[in-house]
Structure 1
Amino acid sequence: PNAIEDAIVATRSLAFRYLWVGRYCIPRDGAERHAQISNMDVIHAHAQVTLVAAAGEDADYGLPGVGSRFRFVQPHAEIMNEMVVSTLPHIKEALKDSRWMKRAWTYQEALLSRRLLIFTDHQVFYECRGTNCCESVEKPLQSLHTKDGQRLREFGEERLFPHNGLGKYPWDVATRIAEYSARTLSYDSDALEAMLGIFSAFTQRQDPGVPIVTTAKSLAYRSDSWRRWSTKSRGAQFATGLCWSHAAPARRRQGFPSWSWTGWVG
């Protein structure tokens, strides 16, 4: 597909040797499939950069600006000998209706990757845990860093994804589940698989009780409360994990228990 051909060109242009493509590197079934899907957090976290095909409806659309797919012309006008150009749509505006933002499988890709290079019909966006930028607005690297050059400045710009990635606390997994559940799956049977990488990352970084820990606001940002909570029995954690609900009526998803969030679409 054009997206893969263009990704090969982009990989070589970035001076990298290897390209990992999910549709080819993950088997359709068997033990190896489950092993790789369960380790998506490791795969994305160790990649130098994730190339995001955010334009078009399928892989045949390609990466605009790389291969045969042209990008939209940047609006501009000359006024009194001065050239005025558009900064183009903000990243959230450019992606809000994209198929990539609606697919459940791409949620892990976005949240677990260290760096994202996002190809849209307008321009390329770059986002990592430290900063975000785009082609239409030039930010010299020196100005992006603090005076001592040890870290990136906070420009207060709205990002596509939060700075802290998965979140800082165990109960942040509830927010991740809610965001994931709002996306669509081609096959209901993939409901849990498409989230396993995020659960794996939470389990490694947080309490083993994840993802059935409390989301009570009273515990947020209070380490003493969290210490008391973590000493409770697994049974209590499991019971609290059942205390979820939908904001609106949801469709029943077959193959999963009704008491689990995986059992419902919405």
Structure 2
Amino acid sequence: MPTRLLFIEPGGCHDTLNIKLIEGAKAHKQYAALSHCWGSNQPLRTVRENLTQFNKSIPWPDLPQTFQDAVTVANSLGISYLWIDSLCILQDDFLDWERESSQMANIYENAVVTIVAASSAGDSDGFLHPRPEIPQGTVMLQPKKPGLDATPVRFRGRLDHYDDSRLQDPLEQRAWAFQERLLSRRTLLYSTHELRWECNQLRLCECRHNSLTSRANSSHPYAIEPSLSAPPTRTDIYAHWHLQIAKRYAKRKLTKPEDKLPALSGVAHRMSRLLDDQYIAGLWRNDLFGGMLWQTETNSPPLSKPRSYRAPSFAWASVDDAITYHLYTLMKYINQSSEILEVFCQPAGLDPFGQVEKGHMVLQGPLVSARD
């Protein structure tokens, strides 16, 4: 269980619900988690100063609209416990934040459902609101066989649900939300246009175009393991990490650039179980040559160096830009003529998958001129 959870006391209308912060060990039932955009103004968060008060009660009017909507959804589902990062992690205590963020994989994996406020750009926006109309109508189909009556058929415009490069929902652009989606067993997603359900077995949407579609579909972007008819090999898993996870994650935005690695640490922890490999700032020790074949999508203007150290320069986590792995797909045609003599990466804290303090690599191989 998470260290802390919000307890929604049963009974009463939504605007009279009593909410308080409790120790996770005292929770006796399953909990829901919230995935959300904080926004530029975070009106409510837990700090040392208000922790004692929040343990007693958090006034309903003090909750921003997105939090109120999440409580409403959880309460409607009969779920009495809710995890919200900004309220369940002490925001002015670095050690508490580091400890809890390192448990992100367990928190989202163990939630009975993750409520995804995809359409909300900030916590004051909310997500339970009227949605734009989608073109729909009725046409009459006239049978070719004489004597049969025409049949009315309703139609509705289709949405590109799962190609996150096209989705315009604010949360789809945020880096932290990416791993929250991957780690969750079940998600209830409130998008701009419709409500969607995803789990390991199927995906459902209001327009029904993608209903009853197995998550084993290889086009699904939110899967930690590659979707193949046969059990994936290590090569398959490495390729999936580079071409699907790292590539999709790198283009997302962060409020704090230093969160580049912590915001993916939960997924990296899960992946390490599959690979039994050493994690090195977004890359893997036994696939370093392949992992270093990344390129930035931006050619001009030149990328500026991050203000604070984040990762060694051979790792894509060292830059703020979308990346590609075009050369990785050609690995089988590349003759490896270099050898890695040494690689070192020191975590900045307790989480081996989190922030990096320093790192280096020693290579041996032929040299060529990079410029004329």
Please indicate, yes or no, whether the TM-score normalized by the shorter chain is above 0.5: yes
Q: Is the 8 A contact 2:218 2:227 kept in 1?
A: no
Equivalent in the alignment of 2:132: 72
Identity of aligned residues (%): 23
Equivalent in the alignment of 1:132: 203
Q: Is the 8 A contact 1:116 1:128 kept in 2?
A: yes
Greater strand percent: which structure?
A: 2
Equivalent in the alignment of 1:99: 170
Of 171, 183, 194 in structure 1, the residue corresponding to residue 263 of structure 2 is 194
The amino acid that maps onto 2:307 is Q
Q: Which has the higher contact order (CA 8 A, sep 6+)?
A: 1
Q: Does 1:208 align with 2:271?
A: no
Aligned residues: 232
Q: State which drifts further: 80-89 or 186-195.
A: 80-89
Aligned partner of residue 60 in structure 1, secondary structure = coil
Q: Does 1:243 align with 2:292?
A: yes
Aligned partner of residue 197 in structure 2, secondary structure = strand
The amino acid that maps onto 2:242 is A
RMSD: 3.4
Equivalent in the alignment of 1:226: none
Aligned partner of residue 84 in structure 1, secondary structure = strand
Equivalent in the alignment of 1:48: 112
Of 173, 180, 183 in structure 1, the residue corresponding to residue 241 of structure 2 is 173
What TM-score do you get using the length of structure 1 for normalisation? 0.73
Alpha-carbon distance between aligned partners in 2 of 1:192 and 1:44, rounded to the nearest angstrom: 17
Q: CA deviation at 1:239?
A: 5.5
Alpha-carbon distance between aligned partners in 2 of 1:138 and 1:99, rounded to the nearest angstrom: 23
Alpha-carbon distance between aligned partners in 1 of 2:217 and 2:178, rounded to the nearest angstrom: 24
Alpha-carbon distance between aligned partners in 1 of 2:283 and 2:210, rounded to the nearest angstrom: 41
Alpha-carbon distance between aligned partners in 1 of 2:100 and 2:295, rounded to the nearest angstrom: 31
Greater helix percent: which structure?
A: 1
Equivalent in the alignment of 1:63: 127
Equivalent in the alignment of 1:262: 317
Quickly say closer, same or farther: Cα 1:129–1:82, change in 2 above 3 A: same
Quickly say closer, same or farther: Cα 1:21–1:214, change in 2 above 3 A: closer
Quickly say closer, same or farther: Cα 1:157–1:180, change in 2 above 3 A: closer
The amino acid that maps onto 1:253 is P
Quickly say closer, same or farther: Cα 1:110–1:17, change in 2 above 3 A: same
Equivalent in the alignment of 2:74: 11
Q: Is the 8 A contact 1:212 1:238 kept in 2?
A: no
User: 5+ residue gaps in structure 2?
Assistant: 1-63, 141-150, 322-372
Q: Is the 8 A contact 1:129 1:165 kept in 2?
A: no
Aligned partner of residue 19 in structure 1, secondary structure = strand
Quickly say closer, same or farther: Cα 1:211–1:74, change in 2 above 3 A: same
Quickly say closer, same or farther: Cα 1:125–1:163, change in 2 above 3 A: farther
Alpha-carbon distance between aligned partners in 1 of 2:158 and 2:115, rounded to the nearest angstrom: 20
Q: CA deviation at 1:241?
A: 7.0
Deviations 1:131-180 (A, max 9, x none): 1111222899xxx5xxxxxxx86896954524837995452433322221
Q: Does 1:30 align with 2:94?
A: yes
What TM-score do you get using the length of structure 2 for normalisation? 0.54
Quickly say closer, same or farther: Cα 1:163–1:84, change in 2 above 3 A: farther
Q: CA deviation at 1:5?
A: 0.6
Alpha-carbon distance between aligned partners in 2 of 1:166 and 1:45, rounded to the nearest angstrom: 19
The amino acid that maps onto 2:259 is D
The amino acid that maps onto 1:180 is Y
Quickly say closer, same or farther: Cα 1:112–1:173, change in 2 above 3 A: same
Alpha-carbon distance between aligned partners in 2 of 1:241 and 1:76, rounded to the nearest angstrom: 47
Equivalent in the alignment of 1:164: 225
Deviations 1:32-74 (A, max 9, x none): 211111111111110111111111321222123xxxx212234
Q: Is the 8 A contact 2:66 2:125 kept in 1?
A: yes
Q: Does 1:21 align with 2:84?
A: yes
Aligned partner of residue 198 in structure 1, secondary structure = helix
Quickly say closer, same or farther: Cα 1:122–1:25, change in 2 above 3 A: same
